[in-house]
Amino acid sequence: MWIVIAVAGGILALAHTAPVPFLFDFIAGGRSAWHMPKRTPATVYLTFDDGPNPATTPDLLDVLARERVRATFFLIDRHITDRTAPIVRRIFADGHAVALHSHTRAYMLMSPEHFAQTLTAAAAHIEQVAGRPPCRAFRPHAGWRSWPMYAGLKRIDHRMVGWGWMLWDWNWFRERTADSVVTRLRSRAGNGDIIVMHDGDESEPFKDQRHTVDATARLIPELRARGFEFGTICDPAEQ
């Protein structure tokens, strides 16, 4: 009996926290995206979380502009201020996709209605600042999700976006460095894979994430050498 309870508890925990598609994601079907369709030529998808961040995002945008690469930025609503509004406008102007992100796992506990209202307000804030709305995509903090979140996404016709296995910059409780990020990502990325790095920090809006800028500058040429092109989670022209 206790074994059954333990297994059920483990499955339930993974449904909320697994860094790969799991129970809720399969049930949600097209409402969940952890991998993009394979394309010819092979395409990978760079995504950046927790911005906008004055200490990092402008330099990251410079790298992307120099390399002529478009990416997807998942922005935290409370990080969008008078100081960071010009950065948000530049993200749009440079042709990148913009989507929604959260700074806390507490979103998991919201009712579907409250969650939908929260995302709608965040999208309206971005549109007020930039003159254009974000695309209909959301990434939860640390990938932690719940079924009420999926129900809320359905109400406003959004989808949840994850990432590929091990295609992240988290370094297992060790310091993140450009070397650790590039070493992990350059050989693992495949056609349709979603890569996640951080140009900001959920609790420190002005944290210097220099490793992301340096890693991106090194990673793009290496992936190009393997024959990859770069895409966005949603079409910026449709935002």
Cβ neighbours of residue 57 closer than 8 Å, sequence gap 6 or more: 48, 51, 73, 84, 87, 91, 199, 200
Q: Which candidate in 16, 25, 35, 49 is catalytic?
A: 49
In the residue annotation, 49 being an active-site residue is answered as yes
Q: Which residue in the list 96, 198, 199, 211 is annotated as catalytic?
A: 198
Q: Which DSSP string do the residues of 31-77 spell out, in sequence order?
A: GEESSPPP-SS-EEEEEEEEE--TTTHHHHHHHHHHHT---EEEEEG
Quickly count: other Cβ atoms within 10 Å of residue 203's Cβ.
9
The conformation of residue 174, written as its DSSP 8-state character, comes to: S
CA–CA distance, 156 with 115 (Å, rounded to integer): 10
Residue 198 catalytic?
A: yes
Helices (H) and strands (E) in the chain, counts: 8, 8
Q: Give the helix/strand (H/E) hosting 101.
A: strand 97-101
Report the candidate in 133, 128, 130, 163 with the shortest Cα–Cα distance to residue 145: 163
The 10 Å Cβ neighbour count of residue 208 is 13
Residues acting as catalytic residues: 49, 198
